[in-house]
Structure 1
Amino acid sequence: MKITVVAVSAPALYQLNRYRQEFQQRYGENRMELSMFYVAGANPGVLGLQDKIKEAVKTADAVVIDIMGASEALQDVVREGLAACRGQRIVIGNGCREYIRLGAFSMEGMKKQSSAPAEAERPGPQEKKTKKNAAALMHTMRRMALMMGSVAPFGMMKDMKNVFLLIDYW
């Protein structure tokens, strides 16, 4: 299994490195390939690894991305890799959130489900709805996913719950 992590969090990468060492001691070195990239700041070393980061993200079975605060150039590189990635994609924070996919849950699937006919196309009287801000909608969706995902033994709600738990504990 190939796992790629691109993050601005040094403590998280340190813990993952310790986990990799323990995993390799227990199960052998060829069972898991863990590529980690520390991308805080816009230092020349990170910018020189753009092609390597993009290729590692593209070819991974599972990707964890935490690039909040990273440079725009780096975010674009990661975005290109995520667009081509066919594995599981966990995105922490707002950057590249549209690429989240874990099991049956994906942001692309959520977008397809939520696309409803425009107001003018709906039959019946037109009522003006109050719009919630994005944070309130995300909080409501998170609560629903945590409740329903605890009941459902499998499926999209369970995967959606797992995405929110992974984001919470990162």
Structure 2
Amino acid sequence: MVKPTQNPEAFGLDRLTTPIGTALLVTDTDGALRALDWEDYERRMRELLHLQYGAVDLRAQRAPAEMRSALSGYFEGDLGRLTTIKWRVAGTPFQRKVWTALATIPIGTTQSYGALAAKLDMPKAVRAVGHANGSNPISVVLPCHRLIGANGSLVKYGGGLERKRWLLRHEGVEV
């Protein structure tokens, strides 16, 4: 859903070193996280931002210290720190519903796409849930890595299956 705008949306872009690569942190002027993706997927992140906001102006800018600290804490083992991060998303109403539901999947657990669709009272929307999940702009914080196939298999992760495997193991899930 592209937001019609005359002027480009201005966001800050920061980089954070993690055990699984350099994370790109996109924040707005209020310090809310708008996107988190991986440096090797920067092009995809920019495309998603364009789809959601229209023209975007990304400028090098340090993310808020609390956000950087929370993310570093998560990667160092303080898993609950993710819940302290202020975030904001655009997208369609359906996408926002899916992304908000991702944040309710408890750390250390996984859920199938079908179970999430059922939780949203849309049991036949499994593919739509999968598509919305694939467009999630805020990796890790909105834990799309916790969604798995109906048979328990690791399927699709925008940052690559090795990162998904690492994140799940980091959270205590045997994969």
Tell me, yes or no, whether TM beats 0.5.
no
TM-score (ref. length: structure 1): 0.31
User: Does 1 or 2 have the higher relative contact order (CA < 8 Å, sep 6+)?
Assistant: 2
TM-score (ref. length: structure 2): 0.30
